[in-house]
Amino acid sequence: MRTWKTDVLVPRGVVVIVHGLGEHHGRYRWLKDRLIDEGFHVISGDLPGHGRHLGPRGHVDRFDEYIETINQWIVSGQSLDIPVYLLGHSMGGLASIRTVQEKHPDIHGLILSSPCLGIVNQPPRWLLSLARILNKCYPKCRIPTKGSADNDKATRNPDILKRDAHDSLMLTKVSVRWYFELDKAMVQAVERNACFPNIPLLVMQAGSDKIVDKQAVQSWFDALTIESKHYKEWAGLYHEVYNEPERNDVFTYSLGFMNQYMNTH
């Protein structure tokens, strides 16, 4: 975990950024720099099994490892005694949902970027059958994955695609245990909607998402009964809305959400 501080004399808040599958916190440099320029501190790091995090790459024994990690980041943000916002992308969005459902952290708002509540292309049945066997006898067996690391489906931004092609920290495989933990977490996110705390929520969903099932995201959002929830679908944008050519518009919209709830906690 790292903390980057703004030079603004009176910081407006701190944003905890949670990356998605296959990536690492370094891919959010543009977003981090924009937030710092707007007067926010930023906290982020690499989730277990990702980036430079210690331990087997592409593997977790339990999805709760993500929850515990994110909660630690939030606690670190709370120690700064300024408004705390949580921002999670894709799998990081799912992990952020599960974190607030289980931990009920004292935060000013949650921003979800194309949260992984359903997958567009499910593995074939034969592969799932094999994976179930491996999950019992060889859970750390890794298989090729398609997700945020499958960048031609993640973004239309040629600069990002060029950069990621030479990024050795990007994952290309995950363990069979990881897949089943992800699947279980998606089910739990829906089943435990009643546990979602009454905090302001903004869902930023890519309109042309080729990775996450946007209908599953919409259904999850519609079922929430919290007071302040906002859903924004970005027509034509691919999965990584903060990397798309229109990302300045996406950032401005996010900033407006945080400004709206800055003094209402």
pLDDT value of position 138: 67
Q: For residue 147, what pLDDT is reported?
A: 42
pLDDT for 148 equals 41
Name the region of 143 (left: φ>0; alpha: ψ -120 to 50; beta: rest): beta
pTM recorded for the entire structure: 0.93
Report how far residue 221's alpha carbon sits from residue 201's, in angstroms, rounded to the nearest whole number.
Answer: 9
Q: Which amino acids are annotated catalytic?
A: 90, 209, 239
Q: If we measure between CA atoms, which residue out of 123, 147, 124 comes closest to residue 209?
A: 147
Taking the chain (265 residues) in runs of 10, the rounded mean pLDDT of each run is 95 97 96 98 97 89 96 97 97 98 97 96 66 66 60 90 92 88 96 96 98 97 97 98 98 97 76
- Separation between Cα atoms, residue 35 and residue 13, nearest integer Å: 10
Q: What is the pLDDT of residue 149?
A: 43
Do 208 and 236 form a contact (C-beta atoms < 8 A)? yes
User: How far is it, in rounded angstroms, from Cα 3 to Cα 16?
Assistant: 9
| Cβ atoms within 10 Å, residue 212 | 26
pLDDT of residue 131: 60
